[in-house]
Structure 1
């Protein structure tokens, strides 16, 4: 069959969430778009992150029943219909599948080429029976899971985030390891639904957070019954009995412990998916950490951009979405926005949630000569008290003039509250600006406002002390 030549404005390589999002926006802006790749399972079952959220929501309802006596309401022990929970999860995830489908994108005007893509040269991509010579290319191939080096894993097998929601029986004793973003969220949810859960190792998402906030989250997770072994490493695994697993866990001191379970769930680290692209043929720079890009997501080939996990940056849907917006603006000549990982929120959607944006206190002290740390506690908030959600705080890091450098919050709905602070950081706002922010009363939003207002309390105290010192000197 003769090769067909396509000459679209934009060729997007990679049909995951990031690739499909930028393809949809590009065609809406009037560009001709070819999307190369396959969405795989996501086109049929929806995105795994939606499934995780649905599962955690079911677990939150079970936890609310257990907490009801605290408010004078007795409902008895929560009865868990695990099959029903999983039906809810699959239904919620499947509801997102039409947005990922080839049919929807085709109806919008995106041409789909379901084939592997490889660069033939700096201006051309080969994909099946097609040769694509686009004005611009966007690589959005994502990342591939990289299983940890656990001896015996190939023989014993494990669950992953793609297979865990196919379970019909609740795991009695679930072991979880790996650095995926959903590690703690799933661990808490399974605990709330009645499983005994052990987490081996520290998830990367937790290691990137403020240590003080992380310690509060770990304390609350342990209080719910979660067994956290953050300083341990899974080294080997073997079968135990007919259906169980035995995990050998190494400690920092060199010793080895045995942890038995019924199933092992691995949420692995990932590596950028670049192997099949022939990037060298296109003059695109890359290494083991991913494709090298500028602050506008352009590669070393000026016709080619890259977004999402393939660039090796923060691995999240919202990060890839923002990068896609920057690329589309650059291609269409509509803006000069630049990618900045500090402006992307880092979220662990547990209860309490942990969220941050910008610099943590530790990094800010290392990078700046003088900073101010402004705080406000959930326990002082008029919504937190009646709801019994008094654990946590909001911490604002700013420089001496009051410019916000970073925000960390741990507590109820922190994953939602971080949004306004992400905007504040992106717009270069100060503590003064945010002290005039008017959230509804009573609301958790007031906690951040109160923290911002503390900047002026400190300034007033300093001013009063200066005046008193001057008066004392004058009277002497």
Structure 2
């Protein structure tokens, strides 16, 4: 690691004793004990949020943000670590363990220990000492000019040594194959060439990062990509791929149970949840080859596993190695948000990060959040046999979709036994320490009486947060918001003109296909002086429930808000021949057009709505009138035939009484 030129003198013994005392007090003050998370016991751990509270209550920190800074410095010094080497220090219900406990992650090999028995390397060389925030030293009694921090070269995050470190379970052949692709435990970073400037350095190897890196390398750009966790990101590992595998299994169970409607008798239907999850893991491992570190390397991309952090406007550091760049791209994605409900974090709820690790089916499941993820997984787990309660604060599910679409899906969910609780106020969550049973306390629709929902697991699907923490964005002059992510212009440039951002960290459209499209814009604009604009994109999306709900363009509420003149066209699947043959009549095709017949927006509710919405997407992108879709020959019988009929309706509406009268006259004259 290059010397920055700052002088780092060794601390005096008095300064060390004061720092040791702070560490000793912290070690003795926090509540260290065995704790349980998803049927596994973690010995000798403390909770981040509880430690933050102790630091504030002990007047070591003035407020919680300051306490997090203090905790992060102690973590970086190797005093303690996250039990899975996954997180920095956070004011959240995350488990940490002191380095003197067996199995604790440690970032150094020093045998020296503080008064509390916690390793503190007082024989380290001068690189150990540098500037790290005056508040830390003030509370430790060390003068302002003697600031202690730990340089990343000496104490960087320990590399993962197992599937457990990567938050993957169980440790079977499929997950081992997955890890061999998306985070090989023996991976060696290409440090020999890292001193040369890169055309592109990409932070994050999800969809946005992968497309940016491989697409750029395809033009012989020199590219590096940095990934802290798993290549493939959420989509491959904890999102699109595993969820759709489970949805397919749930649909198979649903079909079997309802086979009698088609004259087919199935004596009994049993669900083997363990086999369903194993099938998911096998599929995920197979697909992972496309997103693997090996494929990146084969395409000429230098792959670094670790945490990338800007150190200035033109440089990023990872694992003590500085990568200089001409252009950089932030594609760090997002993570699930946990609502601020008292007791929820302590109840250790499932999220998309952990639900795909399950090996046993929860008998009773409460889902918090009635958006796409909540609805998809609520329906799927109900089909597996869980008693599911789907809860939400709003008065309807899928509140961002057309109301009539939500009505169709809500009726289907209720018909399948999902217990919907809407218009809720969340009061608290309690956990029985003996049984692990969780009690979600709510108040329904302004009622005075509180209701208890007793379940075995709680699944949170209530929005996402952008991953903008610990990236050194301030050092690079990059503006961001913890709520909305990286600030970008229409060309996806950040406030640092050399740095771009794409994917979930920089967009409200949090879809894999949107991340792909944004990455292509970044390549064009960053490498080739392009002028592509993200606002020019026409973005469809789909909720993969049964029936599916797909949409593109504007909603009716958008048109009403804008005071626009528009026409509504709608066709029910109850009159579609293919839907009747397959007993799939719950749904519709709907579009909005302007005065010239151009499509402004469209919604489809159908079993395969996601496969149908692209026709409307093309029409909107190329400004094709709805009537032209009626002139396109569609295969019969298909549910997509309703799109043609919608176009026919638009064409018939163009026949004014005068035109119709003239046409009838022409017909009479040609007898």
Task: Please say which of residues 378-387 and 99-108 is displaced more in the overlay.
Answer: 99-108
Unaligned stretches of 5+ residues in structure 2: 4-193, 664-671
1:271 to 462, 465, 477: 465
Match of 1:182 in 2: 373
- Equivalent runs, 1:239-258 vs 2, <5 Å: 239-240=431-432, 242-255=435-448, 256-258=450-452
| Residue deviations 1:94-144 (CA, integer Å, cap 9, x gap) | 222222322221122110122322222222222233222222111101123
Q: Does 1:227 align with 2:419?
A: yes
State how far apart, in whole Å, the 2-side matches of 1:399 and 1:342 are: 19
Determine the C-alpha separation between the residues in 2 that align with 1:339 and 1:2. Answer: 38
**Corresponding residue to 1:151 among 342, 354, 359:** 342
The aligned counterpart of 2:402 is: 210
The 10-residue stretch of structure 1 (457-466 or 149-158) with the greater mean CA deviation from structure 2: 457-466
Q: Deviations over 1:210-239 (max 9, x none)?
A: 111111111111111111123214331112
Alpha carbons 1:39, 1:100 under 8 Å: kept = no
How many residues were matched structurally? 468
* Cα distance change of structure 1 residues 368 and 280 upon mapping to structure 2, 3 Å threshold: same
Structure 1 Cα separation of the partners of residues 281 and 243 of structure 2: 10
Counting only pairs closer than 5 Å after superposition, residues 339-358 of structure 1 correspond to structure 2 as 339-340=534-535, 343-358=538-553
**Of 296, 303, 306, the match for 1:105:** 296
1:255-296 Cα distance to aligned partner (Å, 9 max, x none)? 421111121111242221112122232222222311111222
**Contact 2:439–2:452 under 8 Å retained in 1:** yes
Q: Equivalent of 2:579, from 377, 384, 395?
A: 384
Q: Does 1:402 align with 2:597?
A: yes
In 2, are the aligned partners of 1:342 and 1:358 still within 8 Å (CA)?
A: no
Kindly indicate whether the alpha-carbon contact (under 8 Å) linking 1:47 and 1:93 is maintained by their aligned counterparts in 2. no
State the shift of 1:334 in Å.
7.7
Deviating more after overlay: 305-314 vs 147-156: 147-156
Q: Distance in 1 between matches of 2:315 and 2:370?
A: 37
| Residue 282 (str. 1) matches residue 472 (str. 2) | no
Answer whether contact 1:68 1:74 (CA < 8 A) is retained: yes
Q: Secondary structure at the match of 1:410?
A: strand
Does the CA contact (< 8 Å) of 1:43 and 1:97 recur in 2? no
1:123-138 paired onto structure 2 within 5 Å: 123-138=314-329
Distance 1:175 1:54, change over 3 A: same
The CA distance in 2 between the partners of 1:458 and 1:74, in whole Å, is 47
Q: Secondary structure at the match of 1:340?
A: helix
Change (3 A) 1:412 1:102: same
For 1:337 and 1:146, how far apart are their aligned partners in 2?
A: 31
1:450-465, aligned counterparts within 5 Å?
A: 450-461=645-656, 463=658
TM-score (norm 1): 0.92
Q: Secondary structure at the match of 1:325?
A: helix
Structure 1 residue ranges without an equivalent (≥5): 469-476
Report which stretch shifted further, 362-371 or 86-95. 362-371
> With CA pairs under 8 Å and 6+ residues apart, which has the higher RCO, 1 or 2?
1
Once residues 284 and 328 of structure 1 are traced to their aligned partners in structure 2, the CA distance between those partners, rounded to angstroms, is: 19
